[in-house]
Amino acid sequence: MRLKGLASSTKKLADGTTRKYWYAWRGGPQIKGEPGSQEFMQSHADALAKRKAEVSAGDDLRALIREFEGSTDYPTSASSMKSYKTYLALIEGKYGTLPIKALKEAEIRGEFLRWRDTFKKTPRKADYVWTVLGKLMSFAVNRGYIKTNPCARAGRLAESGTRIDITWADDDLERLFSEAPWEVALVCFAALWTGQRQGDVLSWKRSNIQDGVLRFQQGKRQKGKPPKKIAMPVPAPLAEALKRAKKGEALCLNSRGEPWTGDGFRASLARVTEAAGIDGLRFHDMRGTFSSAAGDAGASEPEISAVTGHALPGRSALSTAYLKRSLVMATSCVRLVEEYKAGTIWFTALTKNPGPDAKKKSKPALQTVANQSGKCDSKSQQTPKKKRSETSDLGSVVGDVGLEPTTR
Q: Where are the alpha helices (DSSP H) in 27-107?
A: 38-55, 61-69, 78-95
Q: Which residue type is seen at 318?
A: L
Distance CA 24, CA 44 (A): 6
265: alpha, beta or left? (left if phi > 0; alpha if psi -120 to 50)? alpha
186 has pLDDT over 70? yes
Question: What average pLDDT does range 393-397 have in this prediction?
Answer: 34
Instruction: Give the separation between CA 253 and CA 187, rounded to whole angstroms.
Output: 9
Report the pLDDT value the prediction gives residue 44, as an integer from 0 to 100: 86
Q: Cβ(175)–Cβ(144) under 8 Å?
A: no
Amino acid letter at 388?
R
Query: Which domains does the chain show, CATH number per domain?
Result: 1-56 (no CATH), 58-161 (1.10.150), 170-348 (1.10.443.10)
Which of 310, 46, 51 is closest to 197 using CA atoms?
310
How many angstroms separate the CA atoms of 286 and 292, rounded? 10
Buried b (16+ CB within 10 A) or exposed e, 351-384: eebebbeeeeeeeebeeeeeeeeeeeeeeeeeee
pLDDT (tens digit, 9 = 90+) per residue, 199-217?
A: 999 999 999 999 999 999 9
234 sits in the region (left: phi over 0; alpha: psi -120 to 50; else beta) called: beta
How many CB atoms neighbour CB 147 within 10 A?
Answer: 9
CA distance 173 to 175: 5
Separation of alpha carbons 149 and 142, rounded Å: 10
Contact 184, 177 (CB under 8 A): no
Give 19-60 pLDDT, tens digit per residue.
888 888 777 788 888 888 888 888 888 888 876 665 545 689
pLDDT surpasses 60 at 387: no
What pLDDT is attached to residue 398? 30
Query: Above 60 in pLDDT, residue 323?
Result: no
Cα end-to-end distance, the chain, whole Å: 59
DSSP 356: T
Residue 64 · residue 139 · CB < 8 Å: yes
pLDDT band at residue 357 using 50, 70 and 90 as cut-offs? low
User: Is-contact 45 39, C-beta < 8 A?
Assistant: no
CA distance 197 to 282: 11
Nearest Cα neighbor of 288 from 304, 299, 300, 269 is 304
pLDDT band for position 13 (50/70/90)?
Answer: confident
Q: What is the DSSP letter of 57?
A: T
Res 277: pLDDT: 95
Residue 232 has pLDDT above 50, yes or no: yes
Question: For 99-128, b where at least 16 C-beta lie within 10 A, e where not — what string?
Answer: ebeebeeeebbeebeebbeebeeeeebbbb
pLDDT tens for each residue of 84-118: 999 999 999 999 999 999 999 989 999 999 999 99
pLDDT at 216: 95
**pTM for this model (two decimals):** 0.65
CB atoms inside a 10 Å sphere around CB 187: 25
Instruction: Using DSSP bridges, classify how beta strands 7-12 and 18-23 pair: parallel, antiparallel or unpaired.
Output: antiparallel
Contact 59, 100 (CB under 8 A): yes
Residue 24 or 283, more confident: 283
Give 18's pLDDT tier (boundaries 50, 70, 90).
confident
Contacts with 8 (C-beta within 8 Å, 6 or more apart), sequence order: 20, 21, 22, 23
- Per-residue model confidence as pLDDT tens digits over 56-74: 456 899 999 999 999 999 9
- Cα 246 from Cα 187, distance rounded (Å): 12
* Residue that wins the pLDDT comparison between 305 and 4: 305
User: With 0-12 CB in 10 A as exposed, 13-18 as middle and 19+ as buried, what is 300?
Assistant: middle
User: Which among 202, 203, 209 has a CA at the least distance from the CA of 186?
Assistant: 202
CB 192 within 8 A of CB 168: yes
Contact yes or no for 401/363 (Cβ under 8 A): no
